[in-house]
Amino acid sequence: MANSNLNDLRKLHELLRDLKSVQDDLAKGPRLVRVKVQNTEQKQADLEAGKQDVKACKMLADQKTLQLKTLEAKLSELQGKLNQAVSNREYDILRGQMEADTMAKSVLEDEILETFEKIEAAQGRAKQLEADLATAKQEEAAMRAKVAAAEPGLIERKAQLELAVTAAEQFLPAEPKLQYRRLVTAHAADAMAEVTGNSCSACYVSLPSQTLVALRSGEILFCRTCGKLMYVGIQA
Ligand SMILES: [Zn+2]
């Protein structure tokens, strides 16, 4: 009876650990998918911002091109007036205006060239962002497929382990079993603690020799410090 208890306790803890591991794997899948979904959403937002940037640069170029056309029309108008100038004074005033406008035109032309370069750079960035989004979507789909493929097997394994745990718990007398079940609900596999050396491996408190003897003889005992269901390992 005593030795059988020892083996049953060890086996029970092993099954609880396996069950915990499967539960963790099941919970991990949706988390991994969520991370990929968030990444796709971020890349989508980056691309939208990139497209807005291209749009803004193009609008600026259009505005400046319009300003240039207006300035060119004004210059040709001034040229016409200059050709018909009747006095030196009028001529000088018109020449002065034309010089200032020609200078402004040259500045505007440089600015337009700069804006075209900005458009090209923004278009390059947007193209890269589009490629990044496509990659993110592919990664998300691959993760969804991977998680979905693993899930049925994990669910089946979980059901098997739950049955095995229930079967493995049968040796526990009713009263300690209730306490043990409460611990499992709260701590899963950490409901149980192996005794390593002379200590409880959950809280590291040294156990009185009387307790160690009782544990080795297969008594069902909970740690007085951390409350876990204790058992002696094979080497202890
Ligand atoms: Zn303890």
Q: pLDDT tens digits for 206-236? A: 999 999 999 999 899 999 999 999 999 876 4
Q: Please give the distance, rounded to the nearest whole angstrom, from the Cα atom of residue 225 to the centre of ligand 1.
A: 5
Model pTM score: 0.75
Structural domain boundaries of the chain? 19-170, 172-236
Q: Where residue 4 falls among pLDDT bands split at 50, 70, 90?
A: confident
* Chain segment 164-187, per-residue pLDDT in tens: 999 999 999 999 999 999 999 999
How far is ligand 1, taken at its centre, from the CA of residue 181, in Å? 17
CA of 28 to the centre of ligand 1 (A): 29
In the predicted structure, residue 113 carries a pLDDT above the cut 60: yes
User: What DSSP string describes 171-227?
Assistant: TS-HHHHHHHHHHHHHHGGGGEEEEETTEETTT-PBPPHHHHHHHHTT--EE-TTT-
CA distances from 157 to 11, 63, 66, 133 (A): 17, 66, 71, 36
User: Does domain 19-170 bear CATH number 1.10.287.1490?
Assistant: yes
Centre of ligand 1 to C-alpha 2, Å, is 21
Q: How far is the CA of 206 from the centre of ligand 1 (A)?
A: 9
Amino acid at site 191: A
Output the CA 33–ligand 1 centroid distance in Å: 37
Between the CA of 236 and the centroid of ligand 1 the distance, in Å, is 16
> Ligand 1: distance of its center to the CA of 183 in Å?
13
What SS3 class is residue 84? coil
> Do residues 224 and 202 make contact, with C-beta atoms less than 8 angstroms apart?
no
